[in-house]
Amino acid sequence: MTEPITYQLLGPGELALLTGVGAGLFDYPVDPEQAAAFLADPGHMIVLALAGAEVVGLASGTVLLHPDKRPALFVNEVGVREAWRRQGIGRAMMAVLFAEARARGCVGIWLGTETDNGPALALYRRLGGDEVPFVGFGWDGAFDD
């Protein structure tokens, strides 16, 4: 029987859960110092999808502030383990992330993805976002893997 999926918006007290995420979900192993700083900063948020004790997905974002605009949420990363894809987990995590962003006063939510990332494009299109032309620039290895 498949475990029911639960979704958890993490706070500073949940460092052990974040550092305990097994290999293959994040791009790199979770760095405990970076994870603690991320969870301590109220401008950052992360939602985990759990099947029992196993973390099967993540969605993270950062609240962007600017002197002349209302806060907006930039979605940093969304990932679902391959065996768990196409079950609505990505949509559900994004719904939690979006609701939290709106509760924090964000009036815009945006993200970028690669033009050849089919699963991500399918998810974002299903979420009903406005697809806009976008050019990205990076410095100091911003897009290096």
pLDDT higher at 103 or 2: 103
54-66/108-110 β-pairing: unpaired
Quote the pTM value.
0.91
Amino acid in position 54: E
- Identify the CA nearest to 110 among candidates 87, 83, 136, 89: 136
3-class SS of residue 62? strand
| CATH number where 47 lies | 3.40.630.30
Task: State yes or no: pLDDT of 10 exceeds 70.
Answer: yes
- Residue 135 inside a domain? The answer is no
3-class SS of residue 6? strand
Q: What is the pLDDT of residues 100-124, one digit of tens each?
A: 999 999 999 999 998 899 999 999 9
- Residue 136 inside a domain? The answer is no
Q: Measure the CA dihedral 67/71/72/76, to 10°.
A: 90
Mean pLDDT of 32-53: 97
- Residue 140 inside a domain? The answer is no
Q: How many domains does the chain have?
A: 1
